[in-house]
Amino acid sequence: MAFGSSSLIWFRKGLRIHDNPALDYASKGTAALYPVFIIDPHYMKPDYNAFSPGSSRAGLNRIRFLLESLVDLDSNLKKLGSRLLVLKGEPGEVLFRCLKQWDVKKLCFEYDTEPYYQALDVRVKNGGKPPLTYQSFLKLAGEPSWASSPLMTSRSSLPLVGDHGDCEIFEVPTLKELGYEDTEQEDYLTPFRGGESEALKRLRDSLSDKVGYGFLEFMDRCVFELTCNFANSISLEVNLRTRVKDVNFARLSKREADVVSEWVAKFEKPKGDPSAFLKPATTVLSPYLKFGCLSSRYFYQCLKDVQKIVKKHTSPPVSLVGQLLWRDFFYTVAFGTPNFDQMKNSTICKQIPWNDNDELFAAWREGRTGYPWIDAIMVQLHKWGWMHHLARHCVACFLTRGDLFVHWEKGRDVFERLLIDSDWAINNGNWLWLSCSSFFYQYNRIYSPISFGKKYDPNGNYIRYFLPILKDMPREYIYEPWTAPLSIQTKAKCIIGKDYPKPVVLHDSASKECKRRMGEAYALNKKFNGLVSEEELSSLRKRLEEEDDKKNQVQEVKTKKQKTIDDWMSTK
């Protein structure tokens, strides 16, 4: 059946044509090339027991993103005289059958086998100890060998697809074909489209200081919705007008826009605005990197090109190159650390007696903590599968060491499922970071669920967009609606406790209690040099909870006394 030699490229991630070493290798010196993607029905089929629409492992937005990426990959392959062969079944089994039937001599898939990576592996193993700080990682890693070497970023053709015999080949399925109903609900449709073409467009736009891809189109919808939603808000109107003007300026301007980018050169991650959603403050290239629609090496070289042209630019860790290096930092530590994704039996994770309060956790997950800033971020996660990095910080801190003291692994699972860019090493690494379990230890620094968002977005436009129930709440109460007088709540058509929840905890007292618990937990870890037994941990948990109960009782008595006094006063 097969003639001469044939090779098979197995796409898993790396869903692109440009700078794809596995594809290059597979297509060299071969008569026929089988580009294969295997759909595992177990991974893709709807799970109706999950807490949100999607399969057992992934939220609907990420499945959608993957399918879009596959459609784009197929179309890019077709332009080169090839096509994507979609197969279905248990991947190992399916692949084995095809290799045998098609007499494939060469199987290729993305695996970092290059000398640079092998050398890097050896270096970063660092005697079995991966670097635990960004700076020590930089020292160890140095400049990559391919930093300025040419990458294969375009090609004119691919070998023909071999005869596929009686193996059943499918088109990329639609969501509906996978069993997802009502998927066209605008409400839960991420504005970010999957695929290599989108990725490259987005990259070009970022590099040339343009607004994000699709912004204008998306904008039209938003302007419409926003003006409908709060036609009475003058400041927003002005805000939008300014933005639209900016956009036109950027579009019309002919200034060296294709190459030189001030935005790229001046990028400083911590200075971004987490409440910006019409035009996100970051590149939103993460989902494309995650699925390999964009080559991180190509991205890196593009950024370096910009740096050569501009006079001044920011540096790691805050620069855009720095962001790519963060990715590798977390890959490195995750690779070199056993049980990286859990607290138990981890050599780097602090043992902390997180509580097991499912009600608080569910309130956080479903965006009903009563803190609009936190809830709006969680709604954006459900609807878009993407939030700004600092927004992620706020909700992660709130769930764990800041307010609710719930285990970071629970929050990690929610992000893992719902983010379109969720990446095992990066997601776990950041949860370890934010919960002060590893990498970062200054547990006194807690994001305020009220003032943090306010300083970027005092009018609460972000909240109004993602939590429309609060859209008419006056700006002085939008971050703390429970403080609004009942008359104002009535006028805003949003009664706190009925239309929108009361806060699940009081931030002032909850964060204080969290700090105390963190202090005790740290002391315990120090005492046992990180090797805290389960008995020790649960006895600390018990003690902390008892002390907290006692405090609450005292507080209750105080409140009661005060209430008695108040009642007495009011009768006077």
Partner DNA sequence: AGGACGTTGTCGCA
Partner DNA sequence: TGCGACAACGTCCT
295 is in an annotated binding site: no
Give me the least distance between CB of 379 and DNA, in Å please.
20
d(CA 509, CA 435): 18
**Residues 302, 304, 308: CA angle, nearest 5 degrees:** 115
* The residue to which tokens 């391919």 are assigned: 146
423 is in an annotated binding site: yes
Cβ atoms of 94 and 38 closer than 8 Å? yes
Q: Is 81 in the site for DNA (CB under 7 A)?
A: no
369 is in an annotated binding site: no
Give me the least distance between CB of 519 and DNA, in Å please.
6
Closest CA to 120 of 297, 318, 273, 328: 328
Closest CA to 141 of 303, 302, 327: 327
Residues 94-153 interacting with DNA (rule: CB under 7 A): 131-136, 139
197 is in an annotated binding site: no
Q: Is 526 in the site for DNA (CB under 7 A)?
A: yes
Whether the CA torsion 404, 410, 412, 415 is positive or negative: it is negative
Closest CA to 458 of 315, 273, 330, 287: 273
Residues 331-360 interacting with DNA (rule: CB under 7 A): 348
**Residue with smaller CB distance to DNA, 470 or 524:** 524
Q: Is 456 in the site for DNA (CB under 7 A)?
A: no
Q: Is 398 in the site for DNA (CB under 7 A)?
A: no
Give me the least distance between CB of 232 and DNA, in Å please.
27
Query: How many Cα neighbours within 13 Å face the side chain of 276?
Result: 16
Closest CA to 77 of 161, 7, 8: 161
23 is in an annotated binding site: no
d(CA 349, CA 412): 14
Contacts of 83 (CB under 8 A, 6+ apart): 35, 74, 77, 161
- Beta strands per DSSP E along 17-131: 32-39, 85-88, 106-108
- Per-residue three-class SS string for 219-240: HHHHHHHHHHHCCCCHHHHHHH
Q: Is 483 in the site for DNA (CB under 7 A)?
A: no
Among 113, 118, 315, 451, binds DNA (CB under 7 A): 451
Give me the least distance between CB of 430 and DNA, in Å please.
7
Give me the least distance between CB of 335 and DNA, in Å please.
15
Among 441, 512, 527, 563, binds DNA (CB under 7 A): 441
Give me the least distance between CB of 539 and DNA, in Å please.
20
For residues 290 to 329, the per-residue mask of contacts with DNA, x marking binding by CB under 7 A and - elsewhere, is ---------------------------xx---xx--x---
335 is in an annotated binding site: no
Residues 260-279 interacting with DNA (rule: CB under 7 A): 269-271
**Residue with smaller CB distance to DNA, 348 or 377:** 348
Which positions lie near DNA, rule CB under 7 A? 131-136, 139, 269-271, 317-318, 322-323, 326, 348, 389-390, 393, 433, 440-442, 444-448, 450-452, 519, 522, 525-526
